């Protein structure tokens, strides 16, 4: 295992390092403490060619100015909270909203906009970046002082393990995710439409107006949302379906079966042979297929095009605090929140 670091830029005069963890198979992950953000994943393809397989912002200025969420830690609450409102312990809360009347990805002062503390840990078989951040009570008008630790670990088994831990001094909400976009071709000028996807998911959450979950869970069977066996992402993204056509793609939560006898999902690129398996204890994964070109900054000299990446955002179902049956995202004093998601990288021939 090797850990290196270089400067990624400065924020308010403070140098922001980008760390790179590399294992003996040539798999490397890079991350920076601004937003506890994953900036790069380099893996070999079936011919041994090492390339970056994520959408990555190339400089800190663009990351701060345009807030693309690429690779960032999202919190306190991932996804949308309807009208930014919820009731907890008999108290009605109104959060600061940032997408029309709703809250998206933690609000205007989300975790991705914060400079976290970082330290490293290393052993023979693994290396970790440990990010910590204290979110004060009242941030985005959330209750409770929340102390958060997010650990990124690279192993010799080619796994990127994300461990979340948090504690609070008053009842609050916590539902983090990582907003990494994969493009397994290694060339972000190509799309992810020909990637193959498999998910242990029999239900998805349909969206209503403003991309808010309707509160229902619908069967995937017989719909383009059925990824219970491998199929090309484009079969869903380009489908003529009332949940998909208006969005020009997927931006949907899938309920995970959590069978615990293998990965919850696998993304595979037949051209490069690369695959990513993911394992999680979260009850859902949000699949977002980068449905429009992002042209307010450039990556490799060009805007990131439509379908340039696909997310596997593991989390409790979005808007859970307002949708019965979506899961519990309430954290209380005396409790320790823990959650783990693992992405495992590999190659296969077919
Ligand atoms: C998320 O679901 C949301 C999208 O709607 C949003 O545009 C993106 O993050 C930035 O996955």
CA atoms within 13 A on the CB side of 273: 13
- Digit-coded pLDDT (tens) for 263-312: 999 999 999 999 999 999 999 999 999 999 999 999 988 999 999 999 99
Domain 2-347 falls under CATH 2.70.98.10: yes
Supply the pLDDT for residue 349. 75
Contact 332, 224 (CB under 8 A): no
323/313 Cα distance (integer angstroms) = 19
Quote the CA–CA distance of 309 and 289 in Å, as a whole number.
Answer: 6
Q: Determine the distance separating the centroid of ligand 1 and the alpha carbon of 313, expressed in angstroms.
A: 10
Q: Within 6 Å (CB) of ligand 1, which residues are found?
A: 69, 211, 251, 286, 288, 311, 313
Query: What's the CA-to-centroid distance between 288 and ligand 1, angstroms?
Result: 7
Phi, psi of 299 (to 5 degrees): -120, 130
- Which amino acid residue places its CA nearest to atom 8 of ligand 1? 288
Enumerate the domain spans of the chain: 2-347
Whether residue 313 lies in the annotated active site? yes
pLDDT digits (tens, 9 = 90+) for 42-53: 999 999 999 999
Is there a cis peptide before residue 228, judged by omega within 30 degrees of 0?
no
Of all atoms in ligand 1, which is nearest to the CA of residue 311?
Answer: 11
At 350 the pLDDT is: 62
* pLDDT tens, N- to C-terminus, the chain (350 residues): 999 999 999 999 999 999 999 999 999 999 999 999 999 999 999 999 999 999 998 999 999 999 999 999 999 999 999 999 999 999 999 999 999 999 999 999 999 999 999 999 999 899 999 999 999 999 999 999 999 999 999 999 999 999 999 999 999 999 999 999 999 999 999 999 999 999 999 999 999 999 999 999 999 999 999 999 999 999 999 999 999 999 999 999 999 999 878 999 999 999 999 999 999 999 999 999 999 999 999 998 899 999 999 999 999 999 999 999 999 999 999 999 999 999 999 999 76
Q: Determine the Cα angle at 177 with ends 345 and 9, to 5°.
A: 80
Residue with the smallest CA separation from ligand 1 atom 11 is 288
Ligand 1 atom closest to Cα of residue 286: 11
Lookup: tokens for 168 = 């609070």
Burial class (CB in 10 A: 0-12, 13-18, 19+), 223: middle
Q: What is the pLDDT of residue 261?
A: 86
239 Cβ contact list (under 8 Å, min separation 6):
224, 245
The C-alpha atoms of residue 190 and residue 188 are separated, in whole angstroms, by: 5
**2 C-alpha vs ligand 1 centroid, how far in Å?**
33
The phi and psi torsions of 185 (rounded to 5 degrees) equal -70, -25
How many whole angstroms separate alpha carbon 233 and alpha carbon 86?
35
């Amino acid at each position: 295992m090797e850990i290196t670091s270089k400067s990624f830029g400065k924020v308010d005069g403070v140098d922001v390092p980008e760390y790179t963890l590399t294992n003996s198979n040539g798999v490397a992950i890079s991350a920076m403490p601004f937003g506890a953000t994953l900036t790069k994943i380099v893996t070999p393809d079936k011919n041994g060619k090492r390339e970056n397989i994520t959408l990555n912002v190339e400089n800190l200025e663009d990351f701060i100015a345009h807030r693309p969420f690429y690779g960032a830690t999202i919190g306190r609450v991932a996804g949308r909270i309807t009208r930014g409102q919820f009731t907890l312990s008999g108290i009605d809360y109104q959060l600061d909203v940032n997408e029309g009347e709703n809250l998206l990805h933690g609000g205007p002062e989300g975790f991705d906009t914060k400079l976290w503390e970082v330290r490293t840990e290393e052993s023979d078989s693994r290396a970790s970046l440990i990010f910590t951040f204290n979110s004060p009570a009242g941030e985005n008008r959330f209750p409770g002082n929340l102390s958060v630790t997010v650990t990124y670990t690279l192993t010799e088994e080619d796994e990127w393990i994300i461990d979340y831990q948090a504690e609070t001094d008053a009842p609050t909400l916590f539902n983090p995710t990582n907003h990494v976009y994969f493009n397994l071709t290694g060339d972000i000028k190509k799309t992810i439409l020909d990637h193959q996807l498999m998910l242990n998911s029999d239900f998805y959450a349909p969206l209503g107006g403003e991309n808010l979950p309707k509160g229902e869970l619908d069967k995937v069977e017989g719909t383009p949302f059925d990824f219970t066996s491998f199929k090309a992402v484009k079969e869903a993204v380009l489908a003529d379906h009332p949940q998909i056509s208006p969005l020009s793609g997927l931006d949907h939560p899938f309920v995970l079966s959590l069978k615990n006898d293998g990965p919850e999902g696998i993304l595979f690129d037949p051209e490069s042979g690369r695959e990513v398996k993911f394992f999680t204890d979260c009850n859902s994964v949000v699949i977002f297929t980068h449905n429009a070109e992002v042209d307010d900054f450039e990556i490799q000299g060009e805007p990131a095009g439509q379908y340039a990446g696909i997310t596997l955002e593991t989390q409790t179902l979005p808007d859970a605090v307002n949708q019965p049956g979506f899961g519990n995202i309430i954290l209380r004093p005396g409790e320790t929140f823990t959650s783990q998601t693992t992405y495992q990288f590999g190659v296969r021939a077919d």
